Structure 1
């Protein structure tokens, strides 16, 4: 594996991780809006 290929793989992993964090943050926000007594569907 060349340095260029490794860099591309690392960038993809970082992009995926950032996407995951953004998605998870939306879930936390939605959880707080529901309230403690609401049920999951």
Structure 2
């Protein structure tokens, strides 16, 4: 599913940075930023 792919990308993207408590990340915000940068034709 697209959601799983997005989540996987988010986790990989975070892990390239120094380990930080993930609770400080606003996951919905990160997801929306990622989706905007990808510009996937989700809704036509």
What range describes the TM-score normalised by the shorter chain of this pair?
0.3 to 0.5
Larger Cα-atom Rg: 1
Q: Which has the higher helix share?
A: 1
State the structure with bigger RCO (CA 8 A, min sep 6), 1 or 2. Answer: 2
The two structures have a TM-score, normalised by structure 2, of 0.38
TM-score (norm 1): 0.41
